[in-house]
Structure 1
Amino acid sequence: MDWKLELVIVPVSDVDRAKKFYTDQLGFTEDVDHRAGDSFRVVQLTPPGSACSITIGTGVTSATPGTYQGTHLVVTDIEAARAELVERGVEVGEPFHFGAQGKQDGLHPERSDYSTFLSFEDPDGNGWTVQEVGHRP
């Protein structure tokens, strides 16, 4: 039996502000924006190339906005990903490394698959981590 992770709920305080951030600045696709009165709204957004989506909204979680930390997005080129985020106006940190695993590329001795990351936050302070996997120098 397959167990597929297909949806992660991210707590936000302002659905429209968060939706704009995730679609305009991160490039996520809007899949659903459904309201059922003033107390329920679900917005489903999918990162480019991902099989897993996020949901933001009203009445979808009791978690406090800004409390989610470390949700990972995986890319094959951390430097290209960072450049795209900066171009889209996202405040993003510099790449950082944990340990030296895998093949080194010579230009970035610390850079290796599963060990190179960068991070950013959404408008509520939910922290995202971008991890490099599959980089080919």
Structure 2
Amino acid sequence: MSTSSAAAVKFSLEVITLPVSDVERALRFYIDQVGFALDVDYAPNDAFRVVQLTPPGSSCWIQIGNGLADAPAGSLRNVYLVVTDLAAARSRLLERGVPVGEIRHKVPTDAWGGGFAPGLDPGRRDYASLAAFSDPDGNGWVLQERGYRSA
């Protein structure tokens, strides 16, 4: 493959499949509590169902359902949802009954060595502040702040 043709190729992440044990429970969690929009709920037979949901403002969807994946329910980890105001996003999720962990920030941010301190990054720098939550099956999500100053 030549470098000129490789440069013209575009890769776009559009769907992440989440392994869940109970589609209805997961559907209610992601719509009613997290606030994702329902795009598709298609079940042509009892063995197959695909439910597609979109996080607000995202161009990547999640899929839950039956017959989609062989992974054990709850085995997906560290799917990042990027938000412009982490404190507001965490507060909204807590109000909707989602148990979100405490906010933490990377220290030191500029030469990060793997440590965290409690609370928001004092400079509200991009990618520095995080909080985590899980769905009812244990699939893990990370909220990460980016673009706070431009919001």
What TM-score do the two structures reach when normalised by structure 1? 0.91
Corresponding residue SS for 1:22: helix
The whole-number CA distance in structure 2 between the counterparts of 1:113 and 1:129 is 14
How far did 1:38 drift? 1.0
- Contact 1:115/1:131 (8 A) holds in 2: yes
- Contact 1:100/1:112 (8 A) holds in 2: no
The 1:113/1:100 distance shift into structure 2, 3 A limit, reads farther
**Residues 69-84 of structure 1 aligned to structure 2 (within 5 Å):** 69-84=77-92
Corresponding residue SS for 2:100: coil
The whole-number CA distance in structure 2 between the counterparts of 1:25 and 1:83 is 12
What TM-score do the two structures reach when normalised by structure 2? 0.83
The whole-number CA distance in structure 2 between the counterparts of 1:90 and 1:110 is 27
1:51 equivalenced with 2:59 (yes/no):
yes
Aligned to 2:105: 97
RMSD (Å), alpha carbons? 1.7
Instruction: Identify unmatched segments of 5+ residues in structure 1.
Output: none
Instruction: Identify unmatched segments of 5+ residues in structure 2.
Output: 1-8, 111-119
Whichever of the two has the greater Rg, that structure is 2
How far did 1:108 drift? 5.2
The whole-number CA distance in structure 1 between the counterparts of 2:108 and 2:29 is 33
- Contact 1:101/1:113 (8 A) holds in 2: no
Q: Bigger CA drift: 80-89 or 110-119?
A: 110-119
Identity of aligned residues (%): 53
Aligned to 1:126: 139
The whole-number CA distance in structure 2 between the counterparts of 1:16 and 1:68 is 18
Deviating above 6 A after TM superposition, structure 1's stretches of 4 or more consecutive aligned residues are none
How far did 1:115 drift? 1.1
**Residues 1-137 of structure 1 aligned to structure 2 (within 5 Å):** 1-101=9-109, 109=122, 111-136=124-149
How many equivalent residue pairs? 133
How far did 1:110 drift? 6.8
